[in-house]
Amino acid sequence: MSFQTHLIEDLRLCVLRVLSEVPGCRANSSIIQTAVNALGHHVTREQVAQQIDYLASLQAVETEMVGPVKVVELRSAGENHLKRLGPPLPGVNRPRLG
C-alpha cells in the first residue's frame, strides 16, 4: 500500500471518528475539515468532500445539502466500523483496539 493510500484511508477513519464525537453524530463539512486537520491531516474542503462522498457510497454516512453546505450524519455502517462490529469498510482504516 502506498503512503498516499494510507493517508486517504486514515482520513476516512478520522471523518467517522469526528462524526461519532459531535452531538447528534452530525456536522457540516467545514467543521469536519477543521477537526481532521487538527488530528494531523492537512486537507482542503474539496478533499474532505471527496472522502465524505466515498463514505456515503458505502452507506457509512448520509449527506444532505443545506444551501451551499454539505451536512453529514454518521450511519450504522460507519458506527459499526468504529466499534469493529461486522465486516470492515473497504478503503477505511480499522480503528485500533483499546
CA dihedral 63, 66, 69, 72 (to 10 degrees): -20
The pLDDT score that the predictor gives to residue 98 is: 62
Task: Give the tens place of pLDDT for each residue, 28-80.
Answer: 999 999 999 999 999 999 999 999 999 999 999 999 999 999 999 999 999 99
More confident residue, 31 or 1: 31
Is the confidence at residue 1, as pLDDT, over 90? no
Domain that holds residue 75: 3-83
* Inside any domain, residue 69: yes
Residue 93 falls within a domain, yes or no? no
Please give the pLDDT value at position 35. Answer: 98
The pLDDT of residue 85: 95
What pLDDT is recorded for position 63? Answer: 98
Query: What pLDDT does 42 receive?
Result: 96
Q: How confident is the model at residue 82 (pLDDT cuts 50, 70, 90)?
A: very high
Q: Look at residue 98 and tell me if it is in a domain.
A: no
- For 66-72, the CB contacts below 8 A with 24+ separation are 66/28, 69/28, 69/29, 69/30, 70/28, 70/29, 71/26, 71/27, 71/28, 71/29, 72/15, 72/19, 72/26, 72/27, 72/28, 72/29, 72/32
How many domains is the chain partitioned into structurally? 1
